[in-house]
Structure 1
Amino acid sequence: MPGTRFPLEVQPRIPAELNRLSEVANDLVYSWDRSIRSLYHRLDRELWDGCGHNPKVFLRRVAQDRLDDAASDRSYMEDYRRVMAAYDAYREHRVHPELAEILDPSEDLIAYFCLEFGFHESFPIYSGGLGILAGDHCKAAGDLGLPFVAVGLLYQAGYFTQTIDGQGHQQVSYTRSHPHDLPVVPTLTESGQHLTLEIEFPGRTLRAQVWTAQAGHIKLYLLDTNIPGNTAQDRLITNQLYGGDREMRLQQELVLGVGGVRALRKLGVRPTVWHINEGHAAFQLLERCAYRMNEGMDYDSAMELVAAGTVFTTHTPVPAGHDIFDHHLMVKYLQPMASALGMDFDKLYALGLNSGDGFNMTSLALRCTRFHNGVSRVHGRVAAEMEQSIWPQIPHQENPIRHVTNGVHLQTFLAREWISLFDLRLDDWRNELLNEDYWQRLEDIPDYHYWSIHKALKQQLLQRVQDTLVAQQQRNGTSDAVVRRMTRHLVDDDNDVLVMGFARRFATYKRAGMLFSDPQRLARILGNAERPAIIVFAGKAHPSDHPGQQLIKLIHDYSVHPDFIGKIFLLEGYDMALARSMVTGVDVWLNTPEYPLEASGTSGQKAGLNGAVNLSVLDGWWDEGYTGDNGWGITPRDEHFGHEQRQQEEGNDLLNIIEHEVIPTYYQRDGSGYSHQWVTLSKASMKSTIPRFNAQRMVRDYVRDFYAPARDQRRKLEANGASLARELAAWKQRVRESWAGVRMELQVQPSAHLFHDDRLMLRVHGHLNGLAAGDVKLECLLGREVAGDEFKVEQIAELSAMGEENGATLFGIDLEAKLAGLQYYKLRMYPYNEAQSHRFEMGAMIWI
């Protein structure tokens, strides 16, 4: 039809009785409180879905009569008042008693920086796991009442929206969001002006404005460069998450790191601990250091102070997940920062050097922080080995990288039906999320009741799969006959089909295609009419990740193959809403990463807390979560297997488990209509996941093991005019100047044979090259040889300084060996100062 379409939005007037609907629409509590969201979708479910579950947009478009009817509906108003009372009670909640003994809200504040935050599908400033983890971290921090603020960027287009065409090709589109559509308000200065700040860019000054999102107890500050006065190109810096070229990524990270610090400073927010979630925000370290130098400190002392109060979390072993910038870009953008830090550019550039070319943001973060962690036990070990060049002389097993295993926000991902059941049968369960023993009470729930809830959730998922698939196929021109074949297992409420789910980012290391390592066998397994099984796939591939997009096409091609049609489903448009449906509705959650590249894998945790049974490679969180009775684990083959052989072996394991364990267990019916053995598995999954892998446990671990130590270390170095920070910096400089000339040797080689009551007499000459005996520690490590050449330490003893001898410092110990039989000992020396955050933070060590 010819002519221009002009938009016109007719908005209702919110009845006074319902005026708080607007209030909670601007509080991200709605992202995890289903009772709040229900107040909107009960008014108009179709409109709610059409608005992308966005309460602000919904309230602008809902019909006036729907609101008026609700205001006079006794049932709705009773629920409205109950929900608002619960919301008010939540907002009044104070810090968790256990954490109140560690953090003082009147003095402490954690500032959490991340490039993306995944709170809800209506707030599209996230792409996947990193962002959703950041959102869960914020939610749990609020639940626990922590003094906490978060800092990120406000994207206009966010991450892309995905469709899949009839040939299996991912199609990318972007939907722009205006701040008035999002749960944000302008951040105001004391004079009532919208807060803006400036950042020095090459040949120009960039301006950014700040928005505030309320999320229960915490605030999220988001920076936005789309403002008048910036160039057209600069206004696009905060347009798209993970879009543009490397220069735009560098610009985004400068806005986040440098601009984020300046925003907090302008607001008078003074964090006592800074948490950098992935390397994107690491430029904040340089900005904070420059600020300290403006107060009169030298660079080395200022950096000691900054590093002591900062926690850095690295999230992936995959090289593509670590930002690396070319030298010419760094010169272009960081030369002014080098001048502000009083150093030549090469010294600043060296902070980001690693084994490869370019400036590595992870290396910058590790060198300029003192508290570092991976996100699972396996990942902590892998990250320590990957980053050992930061501490070159330290065995990677002992370097400062530790781990906090990720957890997920239970209230966000636990199905409403389970919440209702817990409210009915489990007293005060919300306060028992960290109590493993408490969750044994799930055994008190009758199996038939438990299974009826799971079956209802599965039917909801299958209905969603059908609706999504029909719309997807009709748009792509698929015939009605083919669509009926595709959906034949989805439409019969009485058809109890085993549902397996695989949903995550389509990256090659996640091996979405491993299920098809033997297509004929898989077709036979899924094609058993007596024991039907289906697999639902969903996920996005980055627009630049062509191998990942090929995986999507591979799954699509199998889904329309005659052997798999109606058995394999590929859903488009993966977002948090679809993820919630899948993790609450599947029977089995599949995960097949290439070990050890799965840093955590939190989707399996979301499924597990809903009673889905995990079948996964023993990597990431599942290496810790698998107990032997709560799911199935695929043991990864070691490096002696070639890539193809490893893929084939693990693929065989996967199909063997599905064919010989999963399906028989699921269909082991005793005339009751369901498998009691399966319910036992499902309950074990829920019992083991809820208390151990929820986000409150994760945040508690950060508070106890990272935030509190970082706060204490910063306070110690900052006291008395930062005298200890200055002393530590000067000491490190002396060590760096001397260490290359430090050496040691045994005075006399002790006998290799002792009787059980003899002592090992060790005397070592230390040539300290100007250092004092108190500047070093000399240790003897005793242990056994295991697994070939590996040395397992069983005992560590420190040698004491015994004076000077022949121009060297004599160290000695008369050591009682606690082990019997054949053993070995080693001798090492490293610089030591009790003011350090970690004894090996200098990365220096020598051995005899």
Structure 2
Amino acid sequence: MGKVSEPKLGDKREHIAYFTMEVGISHHIPTYSGGLGILAGDLLKSYADLRIPIVGVTLLSEKGYFYQKVDSEGNQVEQPVRWTPSDFMTLLPNIVSLDIEGRTVKIRAWKLVVKGGLGGQDIPIFFLDTNVDGNSDYDRTLTSFLYGGDRAYRLAQEMVLGIGGVRMLEELGYFINKYHMNEGHASLLIVELVKKTSLLLKDTKVGSESWNEVVGIVKDKCVFTTHTPVAAGHDRFDVQLFRKITNNQVPEALLQGAIHEELVNMTLFALNHSKYVNGVAKMHGEVTKEMFPGYTINAITNGIHSGTWASPPFKRIFDKYIPGWSADPFSLRYAMTIPKEDLWSAHLEAKKILMDEINQRTNLGFQISRFTIGYARRFTAYKRPDLILFDLERIKKVAEKVGDIQIVFAGKAHSQDTTGKGIIKKVYQIAKSINSQNCKVKIVFLDHYDMRLANILVAGCDVWLNTPQRPYEASGTSGMKAALNGVPQLSTLDGWWLEGHIENLTGWSLGPHPSDPGFKEDYDPGDEANDLYVKLEKVIVPAFYGNQEKWVDIMKHCIALNGSFFNTHRMAEQYIANAYLD
């Protein structure tokens, strides 16, 4: 039996569906925890700009991830986020339901419209919500907390996203040609697609020719993006718990190859049933192949939405010298023609915004004229936020020798990541100590990290620091945001930086180079810290204080080379060409 006839990409009835556990559209809508959600929001914005027929599906997370406070001892305190969905979204009357552990759980949806830029079109994102009359008190909370609760809660959330999301799109009248799963959280949509497709064919008994055809049809519809080379980042559920929560609705034949050591691996489940699979940087694609041998893993390097992450001062000079840059970020390669004095003035304006933010919060007296390093992202062990603080006496000596250094930290640790919380406390207490000394180094940790603060940080620093342990950084995007605003990166060679790094032109590297014999081996953190101090003392800080013309030339190259390429417009076009079109 042949495939069911369906419209091709471009048919007015046809859409792509992008499923993601979290999405970051605005700091006012706290339905994101970090890079995964920000990336999803940026990509959906580019799809709107490019007039791609797509819909987003996510969870409402009505109590957000968490509001971060850091107390006087440096302890992270998680507080509920208070926001009102009706201020930003429209509640739809449609209701669908699904079976979770034998209970009927009702789901409604809120619709948020993402407006495309000049020449673009509006696209919807549907936020699924189980806080519905008739649901149990527990089930009403399933869309309350992003990444909250125990394993049973998480699996129930993934059922709402995957199975409930497909049912809601059908209820709303969408014809979906491709289902893009942003991480394994959404992979249970495969179960619903198999069920739906089975109704179109006869004799779909498991193992039959017709069953195999159903599975093949579903696979042709599915695209899967994996984001982490860290084993703990791949969702796995005890097989007995899985069967209990799903109420045995998942055919065992679908789970073949996804169960290992009595755990259902949601990444393997998605890999087994997706026609196109990709990692999020070239190196990450290779690492993923090693993690999951036997699968075809492609690579589409992440990017950022230029219109979102260019700071106001840089938007103004881009508008003046590169008209149309936000609709065509590739045109940012013409940043080389921007007068140096205008670029430097824009940087100082962006830096003043950051200095004002710091001084209003802390009264530490951070100054625009002083060399400023920024570090902001999730605080967890493999990202090594504290590497620059490895030898405090050394960093103080560097500042004494070549000039004042200001370091700005920000970022959240997962509520259950005690190691990450410990690093925040360590950084906070070191900052407290060093700021009380009469030295040329100042350090600050800014709490309540969100999209608003991130926007200020990536544009307002002089150098962006990134120190992950190789090869655990899948991509990273904060350095791309910095580059868009003319801020060079100092980073270990991992993730996207292997593609964006040109020494002394777009930034600087730490640790071994891929051509070095020991690149894939463990590298002593003390050696990498030493590399960091040497680069600061011998190259970076002297250039900042002593050669402004050279520094601004580096800023231009950051924008022209990295800002023009590492964007979600390019990503979107790659997904269309490689993943969505048959």
Q: What does 1:397-476 align with in structure 2 at a 5 Å threshold?
A: 399-434=295-330, 438-470=331-363
Q: What does 1:102-121 align with in structure 2 at a 5 Å threshold?
A: 103-121=9-27
CA–CA distance in structure 2, aligned partners of residues 693 and 635 of structure 1: 23
Distance apart, 1:598 and its partner CA: 0.5
- Residue matched to 2:423: 551
CA–CA distance in structure 2, aligned partners of residues 563 and 640 of structure 1: 38
Distance apart, 1:527 and its partner CA: 4.2
Q: Does 1:617 align with 2:485?
A: no
- Residue matched to 1:649: 527
Distance apart, 1:105 and its partner CA: 4.7
CA–CA distance in structure 2, aligned partners of residues 239 and 202 of structure 1: 19
Q: Choose which of 535, 559, 570 in structure 1 pairs with 2:407.
A: 535
Give per-residue Cα distances to partners, 1:15-50, cap 9 Å, x unaligned: xxxxxxxxxxxxxxxxxxxxxxxxxxxxxxxxxxxx
Q: Choose which of 179, 183, 205 in structure 2 pairs with 1:278.
A: 183
SS in 1 for 2:414: coil
CA–CA distance in structure 1, aligned partners of residues 11 and 27 of structure 2: 31
Q: Which moved more, 1:596-605 or 1:438-447?
A: 438-447
CA–CA distance in structure 1, aligned partners of residues 526 and 30 of structure 2: 38
Q: Is the 8 A contact 1:506 1:549 kept in 2?
A: yes
CA–CA distance in structure 2, aligned partners of residues 704 and 515 of structure 1: 41
SS in 2 for 1:561: helix
- Residue matched to 1:705: 578
- Residue matched to 1:506: 379
- Residue matched to 1:479: none
CA–CA distance in structure 2, aligned partners of residues 643 and 171 of structure 1: 37
Q: Is the 8 A contact 1:433 1:696 kept in 2?
A: yes
CA gap of 1:281–1:137, structure 2 versus 1, over 3 A, is same
User: Aligned partner of 2:179: which letter?
Assistant: W
Q: Does 1:666 align with 2:544?
A: yes
CA gap of 1:149–1:136, structure 2 versus 1, over 3 A, is same
- Divergent runs of 4+, >4 A: 563-566, 637-645
CA–CA distance in structure 1, aligned partners of residues 308 and 142 of structure 2: 30
Distance apart, 1:444 and its partner CA: 2.5
Q: Is the 8 A contact 1:439 1:691 kept in 2?
A: yes
Q: Does 1:353 align with 2:265?
A: no
SS in 2 for 1:523: helix
Q: Choose which of 506, 510, 521 in structure 2 pairs with 1:630.
A: 506
- Residue matched to 1:77: none
CA–CA distance in structure 2, aligned partners of residues 466 and 506 of structure 1: 23
- Residue matched to 2:5: none
- Residue matched to 2:74: 168
Distance apart, 1:643 and its partner CA: 8.5
Q: Any gaps of 5 or more consecutive residues in structure 1?
A: 1-101, 188-193, 392-398, 471-486, 670-674, 713-848
SS in 2 for 1:172: strand
CA gap of 1:563–1:157, structure 2 versus 1, over 3 A, is closer
- Residue matched to 1:227: 132
Q: Is the 8 A contact 1:593 1:619 kept in 2?
A: yes
- Residue matched to 1:304: 216
Q: Is the 8 A contact 2:97 2:104 kept in 1?
A: yes
User: Aligned partner of 1:159: which letter?
Assistant: Y
- Residue matched to 2:46: 140
User: Aligned partner of 1:657: which letter?
Assistant: K
User: Aligned partner of 1:560: which letter?
Assistant: K
Give per-residue Cα distances to partners, 1:231-260, cap 9 Å, x unaligned: 111111111000010100000000000000
Q: What does 1:39-50 align with in structure 2 at a 5 Å threshold?
A: none
Alignment size in residue pairs: 556
Q: Choose which of 160, 185, 206 in structure 1 pairs with 2:105.
A: 206
CA–CA distance in structure 1, aligned partners of residues 283 and 434 of structure 2: 40
Q: Is the 8 A contact 1:224 1:238 kept in 2?
A: yes
Q: Which moved more, 1:442-451 or 1:152-161?
A: 442-451
Distance apart, 1:310 and its partner CA: 1.0
Higher RCO structure (Cα 8 Å, ≥6 apart)? 2
CA–CA distance in structure 1, aligned partners of residues 387 and 380 of structure 2: 13
Q: Does 1:679 align with 2:552?
A: yes
CA–CA distance in structure 2, aligned partners of residues 439 and 222 of structure 1: 34
SS in 2 for 1:230: coil
CA–CA distance in structure 1, aligned partners of residues 284 and 163 of structure 2: 29
- Residue matched to 2:561: 688
SS in 2 for 1:705: helix
CA–CA distance in structure 2, aligned partners of residues 419 and 255 of structure 1: 39
CA–CA distance in structure 2, aligned partners of residues 694 and 369 of structure 1: 25
SS in 2 for 1:125: coil
CA gap of 1:651–1:331, structure 2 versus 1, over 3 A, is same
CA–CA distance in structure 1, aligned partners of residues 94 and 258 of structure 2: 32
Q: Is the 8 A contact 1:691 1:697 kept in 2?
A: no
Give per-residue Cα distances to partners, 1:672-717, cap 9 Å, x unaligned: xxx1010011111111112210110110111111111xxx2xxxxx
Q: Is the 8 A contact 2:239 2:259 kept in 1?
A: no
CA–CA distance in structure 2, aligned partners of residues 114 and 454 of structure 1: 34
Q: Does 1:326 align with 2:238?
A: yes
CA gap of 1:166–1:633, structure 2 versus 1, over 3 A, is same
Q: What does 1:246-257 align with in structure 2 at a 5 Å threshold?
A: 246-257=151-162
Q: Is the 8 A contact 2:435 2:443 kept in 1?
A: no
Q: What does 1:335-374 align with in structure 2 at a 5 Å threshold?
A: 335-338=247-250, 343=251, 345=252, 347-354=253-260, 356-374=261-279
Q: Is the 8 A contact 2:333 2:564 kept in 1?
A: no
CA–CA distance in structure 2, aligned partners of residues 682 and 562 of structure 1: 30
Q: Is the 8 A contact 1:212 1:219 kept in 2?
A: yes
- Residue matched to 2:432: 560
Task: Provide the alpha-carbon RMSD of the alignment.
Answer: 1.9
User: Aligned partner of 1:148: which letter?
Assistant: I
- Residue matched to 2:4: none
Distance apart, 1:582 and its partner CA: 0.3
Q: Any gaps of 5 or more consecutive residues in structure 2?
A: 1-7, 116-121, 205-210
SS in 2 for 1:406: coil
Q: Does 1:522 align with 2:395?
A: yes
CA–CA distance in structure 1, aligned partners of residues 312 and 398 of structure 2: 33
Distance apart, 1:348 and its partner CA: 4.1
CA–CA distance in structure 2, aligned partners of residues 413 and 112 of structure 1: 22
Q: What does 1:6-85 align with in structure 2 at a 5 Å threshold?
A: none
Using the size of structure 1 for normalisation, the TM-score is 0.64
Q: Is the 8 A contact 1:279 1:361 kept in 2?
A: yes
Distance apart, 1:557 and its partner CA: 1.4
Distance apart, 1:467 and its partner CA: 1.5
CA–CA distance in structure 2, aligned partners of residues 320 and 512 of structure 1: 19
Q: Does 1:573 align with 2:466?
A: no
User: Aligned partner of 2:530: which letter?
Assistant: N
- Residue matched to 1:828: none
SS in 1 for 2:175: coil
CA–CA distance in structure 2, aligned partners of residues 591 and 499 of structure 1: 14
CA–CA distance in structure 2, aligned partners of residues 288 and 210 of structure 1: 20
SS in 1 for 2:489: strand
- Residue matched to 1:157: 63
CA gap of 1:644–1:369, structure 2 versus 1, over 3 A, is closer
Give per-residue Cα distances to partners, 1:509-534, cap 9 Å, x unaligned: 00111112222101222345x62111
CA gap of 1:655–1:588, structure 2 versus 1, over 3 A, is same
SS in 1 for 2:433: coil
Q: Is the 8 A contact 1:523 1:563 kept in 2?
A: no
CA gap of 1:257–1:564, structure 2 versus 1, over 3 A, is farther
- Residue matched to 1:597: 472
SS in 2 for 1:177: coil
